[in-house]
Amino acid sequence: MIPQTAVKIVCEACSGTGLYSGFGEQSGTAVVCSSCNGTGGKTFFYTPFKLRKIRKNITKVFERNNGYVLGEASKGGLTYNEWASGMSFFGREERDTVCPHLHNQRFEVEGCKDVALGQRIDTCPQFKNKSRCWAEYDKRKGI
């Protein structure tokens, strides 16, 4: 059993008034809030965070899914233990299948904008030479 903490909070449904006045109630009338039974408050139970829990059934962790099916045999990613120890994903992206722009949409090299709106980024004329884009990515990341 996970220990829970209880705290009294303002009822969000009625903003703490204990009354609800919606489309079915004409001006000047209200009904008792069914969410808090008219008290205006509710008890909220939560589990305070202490430490991240361990996932025993995960062996490999990727920073994100870039639109391809990921498996334990997929290149890139970290082992669960590497990830759990705080290791960076930098250099462990799926560089064989995605370009840096697909991995991180905020990263662009000259030509990224040439991909027509609505087109998949892997239609980019530079996609087949994406190792050059990754080299630029590394350079900007300080390697």
Residues lying near Zn ion in the complex (CB under 5 A): 11, 13-14, 33, 35-36
74, burial (CB in 10 Å: exposed 0-12, middle 13-18, buried 19+)? middle
In the bound state with Zn ion, the residue whose beta carbon lies nearer, of 33 and 121, is 33
In the bound state with Zn ion, the residue whose beta carbon lies nearer, of 18 and 76, is 18
In the bound state with Zn ion, the residue whose beta carbon lies nearer, of 35 and 104, is 35
Distance in Å, CB of 28 to Zn ion, minimum? 19
Distance in Å, CB of 4 to Zn ion, minimum? 22
In the bound state with Zn ion, the residue whose beta carbon lies nearer, of 36 and 99, is 36
Distance in Å, CB of 24 to Zn ion, minimum? 16
Distance in Å, CB of 17 to Zn ion, minimum? 7
Cα Dmax for the chain: 69
Angle at 79 between CA 74 and CA 80, to 5 degrees: 125
Q: Which two tokens stand for residue 14?
A: 């009625």
Cα dihedral 25→8→3→46 (10° resolution): 50
Q: Rounded to the nearest 5°, which phi and psi values hold at 74?
A: -65, 145
